[in-house]
Amino acid sequence: MKKITILINCKDQSGIIANVTNFIANNNGNIVYIDQHVDREQNIFFMRLESEFYSFSMKTFKANFKSVLAEKFDMKWRIYDAENKPKMALFVSKYDHCLYDILGRYSSGELHVNIPFIVSNHNDLKSIADNFNIPFYHIPVTRETKTAAENAQLKLLKEHQIDFIVLARYMQIISGNLIEEYPNKIINIHHSFLPAFVGAKPYHSAFKRGVKIIGATSHYVTEELDAGPIIEQDVARVSHTHAIPDLIAKGRDLEKIVLSTAIKHHINRKVMVYNNKTVIFS
Amino acid sequence: MKKITILINCKDQSGIIANVTNFIANNNGNIVYIDQHVDREQNIFFMRLESEFYSFSMKTFKANFKSVLAEKFDMKWRIYDAENKPKMALFVSKYDHCLYDILGRYSSGELHVNIPFIVSNHNDLKSIADNFNIPFYHIPVTRETKTAAENAQLKLLKEHQIDFIVLARYMQIISGNLIEEYPNKIINIHHSFLPAFVGAKPYHSAFKRGVKIIGATSHYVTEELDAGPIIEQDVARVSHTHAIPDLIAKGRDLEKIVLSTAIKHHINRKVMVYNNKTVIFS
Amino acid sequence: MKKITILINCKDQSGIIANVTNFIANNNGNIVYIDQHVDREQNIFFMRLESEFYSFSMKTFKANFKSVLAEKFDMKWRIYDAENKPKMALFVSKYDHCLYDILGRYSSGELHVNIPFIVSNHNDLKSIADNFNIPFYHIPVTRETKTAAENAQLKLLKEHQIDFIVLARYMQIISGNLIEEYPNKIINIHHSFLPAFVGAKPYHSAFKRGVKIIGATSHYVTEELDAGPIIEQDVARVSHTHAIPDLIAKGRDLEKIVLSTAIKHHINRKVMVYNNKTVIFS
Amino acid sequence: MKKITILINCKDQSGIIANVTNFIANNNGNIVYIDQHVDREQNIFFMRLESEFYSFSMKTFKANFKSVLAEKFDMKWRIYDAENKPKMALFVSKYDHCLYDILGRYSSGELHVNIPFIVSNHNDLKSIADNFNIPFYHIPVTRETKTAAENAQLKLLKEHQIDFIVLARYMQIISGNLIEEYPNKIINIHHSFLPAFVGAKPYHSAFKRGVKIIGATSHYVTEELDAGPIIEQDVARVSHTHAIPDLIAKGRDLEKIVLSTAIKHHINRKVMVYNNKTVIFS
């Protein structure tokens, strides 16, 4: 039994759902999950579908899907073998809370993913990587070595055929070059409720503004800083009694949960990106 | 153009989705919304579907649906004309916060519903009903007159062909007789986070237990007190500084939002009930 | 028995608490509530105190307080008779949800306040004011008549000795002239999670940005638009399934609860403002 | 400079606050934090106070406090040297998420505590203890060896002069003997929103009942199962789409945050217990 996940988006038109479900039936598949969404403002159709097949050839199925469905409706589409674990690279710096949270989930089997390596511009978290038996590469980054460092990163990413990158409080700005190689495949955690408090030191800004709620936002990295498609957000209530270190401590709890939730959505192929926004299927 | 909503549940089996979507296509309908759920523990399949037709006869469609689909898969099913507004009766007592909230939404067009009348065992809220131009029936209830009162209520409900009843802090226990007439059609708001604090004075019990969060629960009324299928719940954080009147005041905000949310789910035919639980489609 | 509320702020220094509590004891008062806060970054001390006296003259007490305490510590201070109900003016436009919410609480006794009148630039909500027996003044505002309108408002406010103003989705910008007359005494509700989405149509901006959580913010009005001291905020989770009208509907629930909560803090003299931020005592 | 924390509770009476603040002033202390609470239903007064002294003898101060204040008002009281780190023992079983969360915070300096050892009835988590360089004692527990095991635990606790115990998903019931030795000093995390779903398998019960929100509760252990004073609770929204494993995964995030928050309250001496409830000072 083969289980696959299909993600589709295209211009909204009559008959898409019937055509897709028919196609699965005609290929002797059984649909076990279907969800769809229409953005009525933009007139775009989205669908996520899980289907099971007793006998299955990915190559043939994709070819048929393309000729029978995708071309007819001018679809963008992706098809995944549900058992195929994506390969995730972790970029970290000195903060350990997100790293512990991700690796704790990874080692307990909560994340259906492989982690070929961890990269950092500092050596501080190497012992954590060691404890979880994950290769750790220390690639320092200075203004002068930034391009060379990113080339070294890119080489590692290619060698390990990495599918997506997680910036687990990696404190460096990613260059356009790397972003272009991994479009909507670099997940960042920003420690504010975006679009409020873009950029550096958001907890300081939140304190200064006197907000009563702080937040964290996980998003795909795009060229514009902290402006990429939002995957997940969460918030926590604060008050005048919270000084900046209290906001930072409260924020750490938000950051780790929000980032891990975003990673899970991505791993489980529940995210579709369009117009700098996301559809997150349930 | 006719728009209909279809709700289906049956034993989970291969091919349901394909058969249903084909059926719609063969009847020249266009599916504009489809969502489905499988309870893998109980092996039950649920589906909610919205479809548009250029020409449509409800009678013919239902007959075909029954013979082609429903009998084949042994489905329980309901089909609604999406423009058809359900008729809702409001039962109130002396508290006005839920009533104001519902009528405010009703008069601003947020609720796609008709409200033929309000019933109360007290006269206190009559002026509110008058302000919103809704007929108000004062039917007092004492231990001796309970059966007669319920018969009077039932007469009103039948005369106005009421589809469902909302108990907006109606402080009387509904008898089995009335419940049987309106199965999963009587919506109550209970002022606790069920199943904690069943029965009378839940805020007093919450205070005594020293909980740090209080809640409210909207559910369908069944014979067992406060034990029916839960439609919606929400909570609010409290602390030792909140005395019982503070809990009651905080709770009023929860109650009105939770009840109105549950009413909206019901009106929009998003609720399916099974095994004393609900599926709430998005 | 007279109960008073004292609010103090001054530079943080040794001995303030002991001096204040001694002062109350020496005046035969019994402290029933004391809370204090120090902003360590700005080195500012804040205190809120409730005290009971068997015999009491406000005039004498204030004079003593000034000479014994306030001058010594260079305090800013306010003293209220706890039974004294503040006078609140409501400014509304066409939206009714906040108005219903406030008046529902008012009529049920939840708000310890007097409401001498409601002002609006439209006549739409007059019937609601009538239902609650509150005088309603229709003062239209156009670009040409804005100054004259604000003078008419100011005249009403002065005549009724209004203590503070609530903008319950009043869709006009308040001029500096009125703000100066009521500094930190004009409460607004903004339908976003400030500082995100300042200005007009925040739900449209939230939709466009693809946020996963929306919010509402109540703040004191200052000259800079939507930038005054924040009193209260709350949020609600949304998803790609929510179109703009859904955000607006969800937002209404946030707006009314957040505004009413801010009003209660203000009425109960729990708010202190400094550096464009608030201390909200519990 | 010596900083101390004082916790007081007694029958509510006139003049307590003035007497306490005077006492501090007369001992040349400067109050830097004061918070107080009165349970008006039970007529009990609570106070938490932080004070700084240039010269200080704990022994003398306590003796004076007792004779001048405590006996006069019949107070229960505790006084802590604020720099004194409490000693915390961790009891674990096989689940690692709470342990990782606690040790991550511990190693990053967020928890002002010493952890002399970890005890477990299984060996599974030994490597985690090793990674954080904390002694790990494997004390198996069977029905037959339960008393012997608890004696071994008690010996360890005494040897290391443990101040309080954290049950970080330790799946054994603690006997009355141990509870009596550490009254209100054993912190448990229960994976439900207490008082709902007491006892084993609460996520299964939550699933069966069809709740729309799940929770976690941290409380002090008392003889009655899951009925001790609640320190902290939090909740997460769920829906029909969440099967039992999804509830368990979501619950893990709640459990670790709630337990760590409760631990922080306890470490920072912010908790007072009375009548099986807690006061949690800010």
Report yes or no: B20 and B49 within 8 Å, Cβ to Cβ.
Answer: yes
Query: CB-based burial of residue B229 (10 Å sphere; 0-12 exposed, 13-18 middle, 19+ buried)?
Result: buried
What integer pLDDT is reported at residue B108 of this predicted model? 86
Length of chain D: 282
| Average confidence score pLDDT of chain C | 95
Mutating which of C8, C12, C21, C33 best tests the D interface, going by the most D Cβ atoms within 10 A?
A: C21
Which amino acid, one-letter code, is at D243?
A
Per-chain mean pLDDT for chain A: 95
Average pLDDT across chain D, whole number: 95
Residues with Cβ within 8 Å of A264's Cβ and at least 6 positions away in sequence, in order, are A110, A111
When computed from its CA atoms, the radius of gyration of chain C, rounded to whole angstroms, is: 21
Written as one letter, the residue type at D50 is: E
How sure is the predictor about A269, in pLDDT bands with cuts at 50, 70 and 90?
very high
ipTM attached to this prediction: 0.94
How far, in Å, CA of D12 to CA of A17, rounded?
Answer: 69
Q: Using the predicted structure, report yes or no on whether residue A48 has a pLDDT greater than 90.
A: yes
Lowest-pLDDT choice from A31-45, C258-272, D229-243: A31-45
Predicted local confidence at residue D62, as pLDDT: 97
Q: Is the pLDDT of residue B171 over 90?
A: no
Q: Give C187's Cβ-side CA count (13 Å radius).
A: 29
Task: From D92, D226, D242, select the one nearest D153 (Cα to Cα).
Answer: D92
- Out of C124, C226, C234, C246, which one is annotated catalytic? C226
DSSP letter for each residue of C93-140: -S--HHHHHHHHHHHTT-S--EEEEEEESSSTTHHHHHHTT--EEE--
Q: CB neighbours of B90 closer than 8 A, spacing ≥ 6? A: B99, B102, B115, B117, B118, B119, B134, B165, B166, B168
| Residue D14 in this model has a pLDDT that exceeds 90 | no
Domain ranges of chain A: 2-81, 88-280
pLDDT of residue C67: 96
CA gap D270, D267 in Å, rounded: 8
CA nearest neighbour of C248 among C206, C208, C219 = C206
pLDDT digits (tens, 9 = 90+) for C179-219: 999 999 999 999 999 999 998 999 999 999 999 999 999 99
Domain C88-280 has CATH 3.40.50.170: yes
Mean pLDDT of B53-74: 96
Q: Indicate the pLDDT class of residue B224, thresholds 50, 70 and 90.
A: very high
Chains with ≥3 CB–CB distances under 8 Å to D: A, B, C
B226 is catalytic: yes
pLDDT band, very low/low/confident/very high, at D279 (cuts 50, 70, 90): very high
Instruction: Give the pLDDT score at B40.
Output: 87
- Could you say which residues from 100 to 139 on chain D have a Cβ atom under 8 Å away from some Cβ of chain C? none
For the residues of C233-268, what is the DSSP string, one character each? Answer: EEEEE--TT--HHHHHHHHHHHHHHHHHHHHHHHHT
Distance of alpha carbon A238 from alpha carbon A249, whole angstroms: 11
**Residue A108: what pLDDT?**
86
Q: What is chain B's Cα-based Rg?
A: 21
8 A C-beta contact, residue C186 and residue C220: yes
Chain A CB contacts of B14 below 8 Å: 30
Among A105, A126, A267, the residue to mutate for chain D (most D Cβ within 10 A): A105
Instruction: Say whether D100 and A100 touch across the interface (CB within 8 A).
Output: yes
Quickly list H helices, B161-240: 176-181, 202-209
Please report which confidence band the pLDDT of residue A15 belongs to, taking 50, 70 and 90 as the band edges.
confident
Is residue B255's pLDDT more than 90?
yes
A-chain CB neighbours of B15 within 8 Å are 25, 30
Band of residue B252 on the pLDDT scale cut at 50, 70, 90 = very high
Axis crossing angle, helix C97-107 with helix B97-107, rounded to the nearest 10: 160
Q: Report the alpha-carbon distance of residue C182 to residue B50 in Å, rounded.
A: 53
DSSP annotation of D65:
I
D35 close to C (CB below 8 A): yes
Give the side-chain half-sphere CA count within 13 A for B270: 16
Helix axes A244-267, D244-267, angle to 10 degrees: 170
pLDDT of residue D250: 95
Query: Are A90 and A99 within 8 A, CB to CB?
Result: yes
Provide φ and ψ at A180, rounded to 5°.
-65, -30
The tally of CA atoms less than 13 A away on the side-chain side of residue B228 is 23
Residue C132 has pLDDT above 90, yes or no: yes
For residue D15, which residues of chain C lie inside 8 Å, CB to CB?
25, 30
C-chain residues near A47 (CB < 8 A): none
* Chain B residues 254-273 with a CB less than 8 Å from chain D: none
pLDDT > 70: percent of chain D: 100
CATH number of C2-81: 3.30.70.260
| pLDDT reported for residue C210 | 96
pLDDT digits (tens, 9 = 90+) for C64-98: 999 999 999 999 999 999 999 999 999 999 999 99
Indicate the DSSP class of residue A35. E
Catalytic entry in A39, A124, A226, A234: A226
Annotated catalytic residue, options D226, D234, D246, D253: D226
What pairing do the DSSP bridges indicate for beta strands B2-11 and B29-39?
A: unpaired
**Mean pLDDT of the region C236-265:** 96
> If you count residue pairs, one on A and one on B, with CB atoms under 8 Å apart, how many are there?
44
pLDDT band of residue C108 (cuts 50, 70, 90) is confident
pLDDT digits (tens, 9 = 90+) for B78-128: 999 999 999 999 999 999 999 999 999 999 899 999 999 999 999 999 999
Chain C residues touching A195 at Cβ < 8 A? 196-197, 209, 211
What's the residue count for chain C? Answer: 282
Q: For D41-75, write each residue's pLDDT tens digit.
A: 889 999 999 999 999 999 999 999 999 999 999 99
**Smallest Cβ distance to A24: which of B18, B32, B35?**
B18
**pLDDT digits over D147-180, tens only?**
999 999 999 999 999 999 999 999 899 999 999 9
Tokens standing for residue C198: 């300042």
Q: If you count residue pairs, one on B and one on D, with CB atoms under 8 Å apart, how many are there?
A: 83
Q: How many angstroms separate the CA of residue C121 from the nearest CA in chain A?
A: 31
Give the closest residue to B249 by CA, choosing from C263, C59, D143, C186.
C263
The kind and range of the H/E element at A76 are strand A76-81
Answer whether residue A40 shows pLDDT above 90.
no
Q: Cα(C182)–Cα(C228) distance, rounded to whole angstroms?
A: 13
CB contact under 8 A, C37 and A212: no
Question: Given the structure tokens 């999804």, which residue do they identify?
Answer: D246
Predicted local distance difference test score (pLDDT) of residue D137: 98
Chain C residues in contact with D30 by the CB 8 A cut-off are 14-15
**Residue A80, pLDDT above cutoff 90:** yes
Query: Does B96 contact C104 at a Cβ distance shorter than 8 Å?
Result: yes
Q: What is the mean pLDDT of residues D28-35?
A: 91
In D, minimum Cα distance to B207 occurs at D277
Strand C87-92 versus strand C164-167 pairing type: parallel
Closest residue on chain B to D210 (Cα) = B277
